[in-house]
Amino acid sequence: MAQYDFQVKRGKPIDSGRLKKDLNKSASIAAARAFSEQIDKGAHVSECPVCRSVSHHKLLTIYGFDYHECEGCGSAFVCNPPPEEALSAAYRSDYYTQANKVLYANDSIIDYRVANVFVPKIDFAVENSHPSKKTWLDIGCGVGEALSVAKNRGFDVLGLEPNVMEAEYAAERFGIEVRQDYISKDTVSKYRGQYGVISMFSVLEHVPDPNQILADVSEIQEKGDALVIEVPHFPSISTMSQMTFPNHINRMMHPPLHLFLFSLRALEGMLGRHGYKINAAWLFGQDFYEMISTLGLFAPDLNQSKLLSALSPMMSELQAVIDNHDLSDEVLVVAERI
Ligand SMILES: [Zn+2]
């Protein structure tokens, strides 16, 4: 496995019982494909938006969008992203809203997600940071899972969420303050110096210019403040599986929702350029499940349910092999402003 100048945690136990929820993902893939295909494709960009390198090559086309791999930083990015208006329209679409209601703003699973998905992430962030202020700003807070945990850990919390449905859900469900606001050059002064921790879970992969948002966040924070970022990781066994079956994708390499999938080196370089050093990183994922559930689409007679039941008891161990070789599909980093 690769060596880094910071601690890297690898792997997370998987609750296999929960994985069976989307065993038959054909319908979800068909919807994901229809959504992506009707969105306008833009002109090709010349530079990697993550590290500005002009050395990159095409990996493949997914639903009309070209993913390139950067030779400078090792990230994957959509080289022909939609024009700005088309991208914002995609986030206002029924497809996006409905998907979020099922996956996130859903009373039947939210407590499970908080306890099993967000408690470990927030605790990892707290263990690996030393902010002088017990205040937490979550940019793109979604339905508020992360902030509900941070609040329980004693932080004064504020969420920013442009999506009205999610912002209202977060405020009602967890009693936290959520503003329908976003970080930009115009709003930096409102938030400067106030937040010991800033987090962005599943944000950087969605924004057209991740360097701009990091520059703005860097202006808000002071020496010693913590920045917590979670993004899709590249390369991973999930992305390799998806590149093998590019017409059967509904997450990770799903354009244009995921404009970027980041290597850990790319995150290290990008954070360094904006005045941060990484204290710790955590690689984990659902790669083995992604691979098996995709293969199942091509072998309907195989009885995927029985196969997964048989593999369930060893799912965590199988994923651990992937995590231990840095091929997980998610990465979380805790960085410190220097
Ligand atoms: Zn790059």
Nearest to 68 by CA among 234, 277, 224, 279: 234
Instruction: Answer whether residue 57 is part of any domain.
Output: yes
Residue 242 CA, ligand 1 centroid: distance in Å: 21
The whole-number pLDDT of residue 16 equals: 59
The whole-number pLDDT of residue 172 equals: 96
Residue 51 CA, ligand 1 centroid: distance in Å: 4
The pTM (predicted TM-score) of the whole model is 0.95
Residue 26 CA, ligand 1 centroid: distance in Å: 33
What is the chain's mean pLDDT, rounded?
Answer: 93
Instruction: Answer whether residue 151 is part of any domain.
Output: yes
Query: At residue 280, does pLDDT exceed 70?
Result: yes
Q: Are 110 and 130 in contact (CB under 8 A)?
A: no
Residue 126 CA, ligand 1 centroid: distance in Å: 29
Residue 98 CA, ligand 1 centroid: distance in Å: 33
Residue 295 CA, ligand 1 centroid: distance in Å: 31
The whole-number pLDDT of residue 20 equals: 55
Tens of pLDDT, residues 51-69: 999 999 999 999 999 999 9
Q: What is the DSSP letter of 262?
A: B
The whole-number pLDDT of residue 26 equals: 87
Tens of pLDDT, residues 191-247: 999 999 999 999 999 999 999 999 999 999 999 999 999 999 999 999 999 999 999
Residue 76 CA, ligand 1 centroid: distance in Å: 8
Give me the percent of the chain exceeding a pLDDT of 90: 77
Instruction: Answer whether residue 310 is part of any domain.
Output: yes
Instruction: Answer whether residue 2 is part of any domain.
Output: no
Q: Are 225 and 196 in contact (CB under 8 A)?
A: yes
How far is the C-alpha of 151 from the C-alpha of 244, rounded, in Å? 42
Query: At residue 19, does pLDDT exceed 60?
Result: no
Residue 153 CA, ligand 1 centroid: distance in Å: 36
Q: How confident is the model at residue 17 (pLDDT cuts 50, 70, 90)?
A: low
Q: Are 190 and 220 in contact (CB under 8 A)?
A: no
Residue 67 CA, ligand 1 centroid: distance in Å: 12
Instruction: Answer whether residue 1 is part of any domain.
Output: no
Instruction: Answer whether residue 210 is part of any domain.
Output: yes
Tens of pLDDT, residues 301-337: 777 777 777 888 888 888 999 999 999 999 999 999 9
Q: Are 293 and 240 in contact (CB under 8 A)?
A: no
Q: How many domains are contained in the chain?
A: 1
Cα angle 154-158-162, degrees, rounded to a multiple of 5: 150
- Mean pLDDT, residues 82-110: 90
Q: How confident is the model at residue 102 (pLDDT cuts 50, 70, 90)?
A: confident
CATH number (domain holding residue 124): 3.40.50.150
Nearest to 40 by CA among 94, 83, 97: 83
Residue 226 CA, ligand 1 centroid: distance in Å: 24
Q: How confident is the model at residue 24 (pLDDT cuts 50, 70, 90)?
A: low
Instruction: Answer whether residue 272 is part of any domain.
Output: yes
Tens of pLDDT, residues 150-161: 999 999 999 999
| Owning domain of residue 288 | 7-337
User: Greatest CA separation found in the chain?
Assistant: 59
Q: What are phi and psi of 234, to 5 degrees?
A: -135, 140
Residue 22 CA, ligand 1 centroid: distance in Å: 33
| Cα R_g (the chain), whole angstroms | 19
- Judged by DSSP in three states, 159 sits in strand
Residue 72 CA, ligand 1 centroid: distance in Å: 5
The whole-number pLDDT of residue 313 equals: 83
Residue 186 CA, ligand 1 centroid: distance in Å: 27
Residue 56 CA, ligand 1 centroid: distance in Å: 8
Helix and strand element counts for the chain (H, E): 15, 12
Instruction: Answer whether residue 263 is part of any domain.
Output: yes
